[in-house]
A and B are shown apart, each in its own frame.
Chain A
Amino acid sequence: MSEQAHHTSHSPLPYLLTLIALLFLTGITVGAAYVDFGSSTVNIIIAMLIATFKASLVALVFMHLRHDKPLNSIIFLSSLIFLGILLGFCMIDLGSRERVYPTGLRKVDPPPTAAPAAAPPAAAPAAH
């Protein structure tokens, strides 16, 4: 499977550098959260780009994908591609459904003045 064919570099130095980079990027992520980049969408995109960069470092260095067989990278990336398909189609559905079949999903319920503890139905009942 994925093991033992790699480890061409026998110095642990790249691991240490990766850890420092990861901690540094975590600091940047936290710092960026306190800065307003115009809209929350931009903030989320920036945070996700940094997270993806960190995840790439972990996958390439810590998980040895850099020196591993290409098949393992293909398996890994294919899972991300299918995740992207899931997210993409769900977003298309959510963005266009209102025009076809009005659900009222985005309508925010009135303030829960009379509704105390038992208020789990956040989304479902609003549809009908």
Chain B
Amino acid sequence: MWLFLATEILMFGGLFVGFGLMQGVYPEAWVAGHHHLDRVLGAVNTVFLLCSSFTMVMAVHYASTDQKSKTVMNLGLTLGFAFAFLVVKYFEYSHKFHDGLLPGRYFNLAGIGGPPQQAMFFGFYFAMTGIHGFHVLIGIALIAWIMIRANRGDFSSAYYTPVDLVGLYWHLVDLIWIYLFPLLYLVS
């Protein structure tokens, strides 16, 4: 599992490196791009993901101590936070679509003005948050699957490996967002 997580870090890492380098080349475009992201929504999403990581680890804890109903409840809370994250993300995306900040050739600078290299900033923005959001979707599916199995009574202190591994995956998704949030939303 940790080997898989390492490959995930390297995949996102390439994007982070590209983002950082282009920030060094076009700082003014990056700053202009930051101003079109909503810090409050980003911070709210950070809180959602951190809380979901907490409920996930509690689910693992209760699964390892034979407390079935609490495991299911915490997995449900994790799902709730994950959906809340996606709902906020949906509002952010639709706002940007409306402003014409789509990636690639669909980018429309006229909507916002400023340095044209902002197209690259929003390309990185959509690539990074999009792949991250896709990971959240996969995480939701995995957690739902684990929740059904936990409710069925598949797990005990003797066997809870699936809960543990899904937990690790979910924490990695959280971990990547911990870096994405200050890089995309906060640097001014």
A interface, CB within 8 angstroms of B:
1-4, 7, 10, 12, 15-16, 18-19, 22-23, 26, 29-30, 33, 40, 43-44, 47-48, 50-51, 54-55, 58-59, 61-63, 71-72, 75-76, 78-80, 82-83, 86-87, 90-91, 94, 105-106, 108-109, 112, 115-120, 122-123
Contact = CB atoms under 8 A, between A and B. Distances in A.
A86 B17 contact: yes
A1 B5 CA distance: 13
Interface string B135-174: 0000000000000000000000000110011011001101
Those 8 A-B pairs whose CB atoms lie nearest each other, nearest first? A79-B6, A33-B186, A47-B182, A83-B13, A19-B54, A3-B164, A72-B2, A75-B2
Contact of A15 (B25, B54, B160, B182): B54
Contact of A55 (B2, B3, B179): B179
B39 interface: yes
Contacts, number: 168
A3 B2 CA distance: 11
A29 B182 contact: yes
Interface residues of B, number: 65
A4 B161 contact: yes
Interface in B7-51: 7, 9-10, 13-14, 16-17, 20-22, 24-29, 31, 39, 43, 46-47, 50-51
A62 to B, nearest CB: 5
A33 to B, nearest CB: 4
A27 B107 CA distance: 33
A47 to B, nearest CB: 4
A83 B109 contact: no
A44 B58 CA distance: 33
Contacts of B110: 116-117
